[in-house]
Chain A
Amino acid sequence: MICIENLSKSFTLHNQGGAVIPVMGGASLTVSPGECVGLTGQSGAGKSTLMRMVYGNYLTAGGSLIVGGTDVATAEPREIIALRRHTLGYVSQFLRVVPRVPTLDVVAEPLLALGNPADEARDRAASLLKRLNIPERLWALSPTTFSGGEQQRVNIARGFAHAYPALLLDEPTASLDATNREVVLTLIEEAKVRGAAILGIFHDEGARSWVCDRLVDVTGFTPRAAA
């Protein structure tokens, strides 16, 4: 489902003397349907960079990056938009929403974007919010004023609203209590059972051993190691 081959990345800082910083080289990995692969490596090793390249936020310098038949490395913006809408979900660490939009609508949005009827989308959003223990009295409020843990759960509900065939999870359990951590890990397991290919970053070792089938250490993808 996700197939990365010989991927490389560098940043050129034009406003700092045109410094070119190679950050990744020779990155290769695959994630099959129903599989969860965890990225490991120290802070700064390039885990998030790799995730952002898969999602199309970062351009690639070389190699291929195929998600559900689309090569993200060479795709046109509109192909990536379609990929994100139908195939590839992303739960980032930070919730970015239009202020003042009710939580229920924030969670339902990916389903509305796919053309699902509004009541069905809201029902699905409500059931996820309930599972993730977001009190119903908060659903009509914007999540921008919520606590960090609540925002993260709203972000997770939004990421799991549509049954994406491929999912990127960046620290999905980072600031959650034991109960909610378990809910999230169960959601991940359910996604695997329905055949989702999941690539994730989990600092929480317990979570990692619970859901990950394999681990890939991105330290092996640093340009020095690749050269």
Chain B
Amino acid sequence: MTLHSTDFPQKMRDPDQPLLTVENLTKRYGARIGCADVSFDLYPGEVLGIVGESGSGKSTLLSCLAGHQRADLGRIAYDGRDVLAMSETDRRRLGRTDWAYVHQNPRDGLRMGVSAGGNVGERLMAVGARHYGQIRGKAVDWLGRVEIAADRVDDRPSSFSGGMQQRLQIARNLVTSPRLVFMDEPTGGLDVSVQARLLDLLRGLVRDMGLSVIIVTHDLAVVRLLAHRLMVMKSGRVVEQGLTDQVLDDPQHAYTQLLVSSVLQV
């Protein structure tokens, strides 16, 4: 059996069917709530932003969605398949093919001792690619797309700047053409000028590849530019969700009003 991403019926994409459906997802740490009763649909090509202060449960939610942590209650359906009922093997395969996860710290998503080209090529090999020339060609192509010069392909990511590392992590994640990308504060540790470039890159990729993205961040400016829809979390629960600019321009919940009015103007 091959493990190539074309195993999944990509041609059957229906833009009017949710790609991901989450119902009443709950995760507790003993008596403490990680996240509770979270429900939403995500459609193909949609970017969903999740905002909230530290400890609001947004990262817990993301890791439960991506299968890094096991939810206690609720249901996750991806493309009509029950993710929580899947075998570990099937779920891992999904994580390698249809899904991608971009970590806040690129060191968590990259192999620091392997060359940039190797970091990207490794993902292709994990889904069955074996032809060295093709793997290298595709790796160089993807490094170009994230604006890493071809002459850096044999360098290790440890010699890259933070922004370059983050772009490399994105290339490594997107080379297998996933349909759903999870991002945890992808612009978090970056200078604002580098952030802008990354935002532009992500927007272009979402548009051109029709990606669905769930992005966790505390930066309201980032979600305004990137996310179509927004979910606001507090104490593990979703207190408000809607169209991004509606939630930011006309927030309904007391906490969202506080959050929006607390942003410093430049």
Contacts and interface: CB of A to CB of B under 8 A. Distances in A.
A129 B46 CA distance: 30
Nearest to B249: A57
Interface in A46-95: 52, 56-59, 77-78, 80-81
B37 to A, nearest CB: 20
A77 B200 contact: no
Contacts of A57: 243, 245-246, 249-250
Interface stretch (B122-130, B167-175, B191-199): B191-199
A101 B207 CA distance: 15
Interface in B187-222: 192-193, 196-197, 199-200, 203, 207
A49 B4 CA distance: 51
Given A15-B257, A77-B229, A78-B46, A101 B200 contact: yes
B250 A14 contact: no
A168 to B, nearest CB: 13
Contacts of A100: 193, 196-197, 200
B: interface residue count bin: 20 to 34
Given A15-B261, A77-B228, A113-B207, A58 B200 contact: no
A112 B205 CA distance: 12
A12 interface: yes
Contacts of A101: 196, 200
B182 interface: no
A15 B207 CA distance: 38
Interface string B224-250: 110011000000000000110110011
B31 interface: no
A15 B243 contact: no
Contact of A99 (B196, B228, B229, B249): B196
A12 B249 contact: no
Contact of B225 (A80, A98, A112): A98
B227 to A, nearest CB: 10
A56 B228 CA distance: 13
B43 interface: yes
B263 interface: no
Nearest to A18: B254
Interface string A4-45: 000000011111000000000000000000000000000000
B253 interface: yes
Given A56-B243, A57-B249, A100-B197, A14 B254 contact: yes
Nearest to B242: A77
Given A58-B250, A113-B207, A81 B243 contact: yes
A20 to B, nearest CB: 12
Given A98-B196, A98-B200, A15 B242 contact: no
A142 B213 CA distance: 26
Interface in A165-201: none
Contacts of B228: 77-78, 81
Interface centre among A52, A98, A112, A113, by most chain B C-beta atoms within 10 angstroms, is A98
B264 interface: no
B249 A14 contact: no
Interface of A: 11-15, 52, 56-59, 77-78, 80-81, 96, 98-101, 112-113
* Closest 5 pairs between A and B when the two form their complex, measured CB to CB: A14-B254, A99-B196, A77-B243, A58-B250, A100-B196
29 contacts: A11-B250, A14-B253, A14-B254, A15-B254, A15-B257, A15-B261, A56-B243, A56-B246, A57-B243, A57-B246, A58-B246, A59-B246, A59-B250, A59-B252, A77-B228, A77-B243, A78-B43, A78-B229, A80-B243, A81-B46, A98-B196, A98-B199, A98-B225, A99-B192, A100-B193, A100-B196, A100-B197, A101-B196, A112-B207
Given A56-B245, A100-B196, 18 more contacts: A14-B257, A15-B254, A15-B258, A52-B249, A56-B243, A56-B246, A57-B250, A58-B250, A77-B243, A77-B246, A78-B43, A81-B229, A96-B225, A98-B199, A99-B193, A99-B196, A100-B200, A113-B207
